[in-house]
Structure 1
Amino acid sequence: MASGDDDDPIIEEIDVYLAKSLADKLYLFQYPVRPSTMTYDDVNHLAAKIKPKQQRVELEMAINTMSPNYCRSKGEQIALNVDGTSYDETNTYSVKMMDKQTFSSIQATTNTSRYAAAVFRKGELHITPLTGILQMRPSFSYLDKADNKTREREAANEGGDSSQDEAEEEAKAITVRFARPESEQARQRRIQSYEFLQKKQAEEPWIHLQYHGVKDMRSEHERQYLFCQSVDPSENTELVKTPKEYLEMLMPPLAEEKVAKPVGPSNVLSMAQLRTLPLGEQVKTLMKNVKVMPFANLMGLLASGTDQTSVLRCIQQVALLVQGNWVVKSDVLYPKNTCSAHSGVPAEVLCRGRDFVMWRFTQERSVMRKEIASIIKLPPEDVKEFLEHVAAPRINRGWEFLLPTDLEFIKKHPDVANRQQMLWLGIQSKLEKVFNFSKEDFVPKNSSVPEPVHVSGEQRLKMAQERAQANQPSLQRDLDARRAERDGNEEPMDTSSGAIPNGSVNGYAGATSPCFDHANGGSPANTPSPELQDFVRKTFRKHFVLTLNELKRLFNLHLASMPVGQNILHSVSDHMLQDAVLLCQCKQIMVPFPAQSKAAPDEQKVFGLWESRDDFDKHRRLLYDLFTKNYRIRRSMIQSKVAQELGEASKADIDRLLHECCSSHAGMWYLKGTIQS
């Protein structure tokens, strides 16, 4: 021992024993609303019950109604409110007076590993680990019962004769709805909700107990289990730990409890959590959520004292300047290897389309949605999403940019504005190559200064017609030369101005056809390109039956997915697309739509694969013949037709035929794309 310990001699050694008989049954009750000098030992305990898994205990104790401190009138009033004037076995108070109260427990701590009950006897200390520490507080559940009684009485007074109402009630249709699959985020919120916890607590049944007082013989018998009953001689009873290790055993370091954070909605941004991130991540997160923002607003959302130069450096990495305001970059919203949630279009294609929308807003305050869609050729849902990020619809003005031009920022930071302008020029040159347009296409010819202007639809149509007439002579010469090379001495087609239809696009004109009354223009050589025919052939071998509207949608998706610079199908008209269909062993099916049909003209043009050089062609032709007589057919009619013409067909063959060419609705079969709502 150290010399300093001579003044602190050991007076007595005490043996410590660990009693385990009550290790999983021993609870410590605390009564925090009552002084320790006023115990409940002498109070009559009427009932007790427990939920072991939740460590919930309820005790019913009698109230001394003869005490001078008891207000008899209040006790009678409470009993009347709770039980009413009637008497039955379910009454809370049997003597028409509040003669008992209930104590309900709450856990004082969830970790009792450091707590034990100790008993000292004959120089020995016996300790028993505690299972739980519970605080017993008065329960006021009888007030809830009184409120329920009051509401029932009011409902009875206002309800009237319910039996008559039930007799007059008529049968009503019931809509059955099936719950959607629950997401992980929704499940976490549900588990942490108050209703879910209440339900889980109510599921565990109560176990009723018998109470024994402190001086009862059974209590005395149970107290003997607080002493260690026997000692195993094989156990090592000597302490071989160092004083430091022993102290750590007695007082282990507190481990931080990991509290599960509630899962919040995905569209809620916590500013407290945001400001724990680096500045670059803060700016990126804000821009990704807000989409478009003035620089002054961005500075207001960041912590006070943030360096403005650092923010400018960060914002240029994740956003572009449009009309003096910052708009988040497309590759931030649509990262690589992702796709559209609406149509499945790859992120690279989405970024090009959205960059075009943003570039248009650098030129004008308002843009037309149809004009945007006709150039970027993406599904309507994606185009609408691009516009909603930065603009709002205005009556007769198209989509107008959300924020006014921030001239103050441009004046205050001219170097940043010039740098962004140079960046937009580079983006513009890339977009012109991808989408095959020029900036002059969006500026009126009479405008000498290329300032942002609004070009109406009529002006654009007039400009397109003028360009078509101006290009017609050179196009005619090219067409004549190409036809002369291909057809030898055959006379070139008459493509004079009198033969040009009004619906020409991109300077091309095509001959009208009696089969197709709705077209955007024809093919310059009346022969679809091999690339277009290859696309049509592959598409029909996959889908078998397509309406013109669906074929155009698939074609636009095909164009949008082509690599940059390889789009050689940028000027295909409806006529050219239909010609390609007829050249690829497909035929138009003349489906007799009803007179009141709401289908668009492109939806009423239905084409089917006629010859695929397999044994199933004859089945499809029989099916097409049936649909020339009616636009919807029952399965039994198809089976009988096939059996009559081709012999008995198996169920697998009929299923394959219907799966390839038809869709089912309300027990009837329709050709794909022709179901009428």
Structure 2
Amino acid sequence: MASGDDDDPIIQEFDVYLAKSLAEKLYLFQYPVRPSTMTYNDATHLSAKIKPKQQKVELEVAMDTMSPNYCRSKGEQIALNVDGTTCDESNLYSVKMMDKQTLTSIQATTDTSRYAVAVIRKGEIHLTPLQGILQMRPSFTYLDKADTKHREREAANEDGGSSQDEAEDDVKAITVRFSRPESEQARQRRVQSYEFLQKKQAEEPWVHLHYHGIKDGRSDHERQYLFCQSMGTTENTELVKTPGEYLAMLMPPVTEEKVVKPTGPSNVLSMAQLRTLPLGDQVKTLMKNVKVMPFANLMGLLAPGTDSTAVLRCIQQVAMLVQGNWVVKSDVLYPKTSCSPHSGVPAEVLCRGRDFVMWRFTQERSVMRKEVAALIKLPPEDVKDFLEQMSSPRVNRGWEFLLPSDHEFVKKHPDVAQRQHMLWLGIQAKLEKVFGFSKEDFAPKKDSQADPVHVSGEQRLKTARDGARDNQASLQRDLDARRKGPAQKPSGAASRITTSTSPPPVCIKEEPLSESEDEAMDLSDNAGPGLANGSLNGYPGSPNGSTSDTQNGGHTGGPGPELQDFVRSTFRRHFVLTFSEMKRHLNLHLASQPPGHCPFGTVPDRTLQDAILFCQCRQIVVPFPPQIKLATDEQKVFGLWESGETFDRYRQILFELFSKNYRVRKNVVMARLNQELGDDVTKSDVDRLLKDCCTTQGGMWYLKGTMQS
């Protein structure tokens, strides 16, 4: 102890007193969003109020509108948004300008038993325990008021909503419901809900206070209560504790404090907390809160670099695809043990009704609430809940789906869209049994543009034969008219008569042409003059197919220029294609054309292959293993041989390698390029070449379309 005293000598001794006059009234205010040099001491405090049980304080502080840092136009705009143009006592800002702000408190800690305020006077320390530590922050409730005003103005512009909603409100006014006895489990959920807690907090009345500045006389008077008031009347007792006990009193052993979570809604989660969860829980939490979301927005909310394939797997567990957007599943929102907060309807019935609403939006952009409510037979509040989650009301148009259709997602992920379509078919079958309707009852309205028609091979064969027969009869009538001469031609008659109509847009199935179809496609060789152009550059019997013999090149034995341009542009994008893949691109291009516009018409395999070879492409004879069985079209592999670029030589060397083996290694390609072109070949050149022409699996590289499991 002696050595310790030498190292830590006593400088001064103080008598410590415990002041209790303000023990239950003393609060410490902190201002975490304001620098310590910018105090509110000189600001004008307009009002103050407190809720003692909740330890909630609100201070109203005037703003210096004459300060050079104050933006007058912004202040006027905020006041206009909050109060509007009316002048009455309910206005928040009486001078048509934001001239004040409200500071609202939150508790910095709920346990203040170890905190006190100390003042020193004449060698004495006086301690007063703190009742609470509050952090004062600016309140933005005026923005909520402005938003409410905006919604009221919108509602007024819409004349109070649709007449359908007014009729339902009238029905609601005379509806009689009997509440069921509340179970203990339901009561506990209600008591723990955020809405209940907010209601309980709102029940405590505000106690209005009068603010006194730091230099005010009343403040000086109150500060005197920070000193112990009974120093002269109470006899000081000598401390009888041992040094060890006294030290333990001053510095009690560290114990784990029970963390008391602040009161708040159970579904609120920060993005930092969200990203600590597994990916599936992140997706589920986001969908439960947002309800309806495009896939691109979902990816934007997740951590950068998240695998989209994994997200797709997770989203399909908790949501359904509606018009290309994801809508959270009903059983996620309404678990089995839950019930409607409005009517007490069990979750199973709610899920069926909400699934029906979702299914209707897969058929149409808008639905009528009255029709939905009449069919699913749920209370109007629940039906409105369903609709508000995924749609918004429109004047005289019912409820329109919340987001525009996301066609890009459907095009990018056709497998997901098809799987979701099959799921909806299963849900539709269940809904038809439960609600007793048929899909014809809600047949979607036909668009002005006809839907694509899928034509089978037999139908195409019959169309080709009928078209050839009609054109041959038309040509015969032309020849007869020419022999009779112009004197016997009916006045005003056309020299050629065609009785065809524009065909619907055609989506041809991806299937190999049969021998009979090939025969039908080659009818142009024996159908007389003028039919070659009809079979190659237009539909048989169409206006494009009934032009003169020499128009658009006629039958010259080679592919038409439009077909050549399409083939050339396709190979410049893909570089290597199997014959069946090329036919698929051609069919997709034909299907995307508007009705009546058919640049190529029906293209036989022989003509398409001639067009490929005519466009500086070559067939690459890849030696497939004998155990791999492929269709004839899959064994035909074509590659772009010459395009006028210096990179052509790289592709030619690669194609020569594949003519000897159906798969190669990257180092073999690099070595061969160095051998043929010298050391100027870089790694990036090889990477570009393989990316353009090949796919990889297990460390080996295959030409596009030839990799088979």
TM range (shorter): 0.3 to 0.5
TM-score (norm 2): 0.35
TM-score (norm 1): 0.36
